[in-house]
Amino acid sequence: MQPDVVVIGGGVSGLTAAVDLSSHGFSVLLVEQKQYCGGRTHSFIHKETGDEVDNGQHLMMGCYRSTLKFLTTIGALSAVTIQKNLSVAFLHSERGLFRLQAVSLPAPLHVLVGLLRLKSLTFLQRLSLLRVGVALLFARPDDDTQLQSLTVSEWLAQLNQPEVNKTYLWDILAIGTLNDSPSVVSAALFVKVLRSAFLGRRVNSSMVIPKRGLSTVLVDPAVNFLTQKKSAVLTNTSVDRVVIKEGSVVGVVLNSGETVSTRAVISAVPYFDAPRIFREGTQLSELQSSRNFVSSAIVTVHLWFDKGFVGEEFVALLDSPIHWVFNKSKMYGRREGEISYLSLVISGAANIVEREKEEIVALAISELSRFYPRCADATLIHTLVIKEKRATFSPRVGVERFRPSHTTAVKNLFLAGDWTDTKLPATIEGAAQSGYACSALARRVLRNARDDRHL
């Protein structure tokens, strides 16, 4: 096979690029080193229960336009639920349940009124949220160097946010979307996220929730789409190196030793894998910066009980080392009375990730019992702890200037992936946007080459 384009890496960025190229009539060879595609978004079947288990719970939002376009193209839009109005539950162990609920007004009033009704804060505390709202309206996160020099904590302090606003709202949103401590992550990126979600169209702020495992929703339909077009997916195969001659990519060498000739290459591998495939005289200056990235962990504790005791579909725990509880039974539409499956998420988990799994399960159970006393009546049947040590790059202040652009000094070589210069944190949406951007660039190069041949 001599494909028009080789895409290296079968995560969301690689799949998006490959699907888009295929839908424009180009042949693609997608090479994935693991036995399965999906990268950091994948699921597998839990042997004991038959449940689809994600490597980690993923939430998307209505502002994930590229992701929604990708899901539409691969025919998987029906595999997610898009909330009609933003609705997020917060649980305090003593004060009970609170809800951030957008109302039926045009954006941004729909969220603003929702924030002003947030009962976990006093009236004055809620009023002070307006300072953040006004700052968001006028912020220019891509150009404002002062904002770009601040951490989320520093920015919130400048906006005189009371401590309780931080711990009961902003920090939860910041850790959830940026996956590291608000004391280190970039305020500019947080502003970008909040603006994308809360401004613009009403649907932007709605949560998009997978109804099935991640592979069923995002990966398998994409692989099927590719194989039905004139493209191929090679799993269990890694690209050993990219061959560049006279300023042009001419092919890739697989770990089998085989060389695949091609007219363009999209690298869709994470920052820590990229330098490996561009070596031996093909070292790209764009990749020198990858050493400035550090990763941040996410730990997910999957628990199965003989009966259910969590009412909500998903809920943020206030004042807890566990950030979110996802009621997978409810998300998967299981009937009440059946075995209950919960996923507990700890983001920015540097302090937890090195602990023994038994210790992490004990912490999870003790927190669940604190928030849900009825947990004591349920019997724990199965446990599974998944540690993703390199879940995302940590979007610390200053890291933006090291994110490489999609184009490189080599005219037919492009870089995709959540760590490239998407101006978004490491998310499915950033990955999908980078995939579409690289597909467009590759198509232009291929079309120009075709036009040149016809001259």
Rounded-to-integer distance, Cα 56 and Cα 298, Å:
8
Query: Judged by CB under 6 A, does residue 242 bind ligand FAD?
Result: no
In the complex, what is the shortest distance from the CB of residue 42 to ligand FAD, in angstroms, rounded to a whole number?
8
The correct pick among 120, 181, 327, 392 for binding ligand FAD (CB under 6 A) is 392
- Contact 154/147 with Cβ under 8 angstroms? no
Query: Judged by CB under 6 A, does residue 308 bind ligand FAD?
Result: no
Q: What is the DSSP letter of 216?
A: I
10 Å CB burial of residue 381 (0-12, 13-18, 19+) is middle
The correct pick among 239, 310, 325, 410 for binding ligand FAD (CB under 6 A) is 239
Residue ranges in 163-192 that form contacts with ligand FAD under rule CB under 6 A: none
Half-sphere exposure of 1 (CA within 13 A, CB side): 15
* Strand segments (E) across 371-427: 380-393, 413-415
- Cis, bond preceding 108 (omega within 30 deg of 0): yes
Residue ranges in 399-428 that form contacts with ligand FAD under rule CB under 6 A: 417-418, 426-428
In the complex, what is the shortest distance from the CB of residue 198 to ligand FAD, in angstroms, rounded to a whole number?
17
- Contact 126/116 with Cβ under 8 angstroms? yes
Q: What is the DSSP letter of 109?
A: H
Q: How many residues does the structure list for the chain?
A: 455
Stretch that binds ligand FAD, among 19-27, 52-60, 110-118, 372-380 (CB under 6 A): 52-60
Evaluated on CA atoms 253, 255, 257, 262, the torsion sign reads negative
The correct pick among 172, 188, 277, 399 for binding ligand FAD (CB under 6 A) is 277
> Which residue bears the tokens 């980078």?
434
Closer by beta carbon to ligand FAD, 63 or else 91: 63
Rounded-to-integer distance, Cα 364 and Cα 375, Å:
11
Number of residues located near ligand FAD, criterion CB under 6 A = 37
Rounded-to-integer distance, Cα 9 and Cα 333, Å:
32
In the complex, what is the shortest distance from the CB of residue 389 to ligand FAD, in angstroms, rounded to a whole number?
9
Residue ranges in 254-273 that form contacts with ligand FAD under rule CB under 6 A: 268-270, 273
Beta partners for residue 38, in sequence order: 11
In the complex, what is the shortest distance from the CB of residue 58 to ligand FAD, in angstroms, rounded to a whole number?
4
User: What does residue 232 show for φ and ψ, rounded to 5 degrees?
Assistant: -140, 150
The correct pick among 431, 437, 438, 441 for binding ligand FAD (CB under 6 A) is 431
In the complex, what is the shortest distance from the CB of residue 134 to ligand FAD, in angstroms, rounded to a whole number?
27
The correct pick among 22, 43, 55, 262 for binding ligand FAD (CB under 6 A) is 55
Closer by beta carbon to ligand FAD, 428 or else 437: 428
Residue type, 144: D
The correct pick among 24, 34, 69, 357 for binding ligand FAD (CB under 6 A) is 34
In the complex, what is the shortest distance from the CB of residue 9 to ligand FAD, in angstroms, rounded to a whole number?
3
Stretch that binds ligand FAD, among 156-164, 334-342, 384-392, 441-449 (CB under 6 A): 384-392
Closer by beta carbon to ligand FAD, 108 or else 270: 270
CA angle 217, 218, 220 (to 5 degrees): 85
Binding to ligand FAD by CB under 6 A, coded x per residue (else -) over 212-231, reads --------------------
Contact set with ligand FAD (CB under 6 A): 8-14, 31-34, 39-41, 55-56, 58-60, 238-239, 268-270, 273, 277, 298, 388, 391-392, 417-418, 426-429, 431
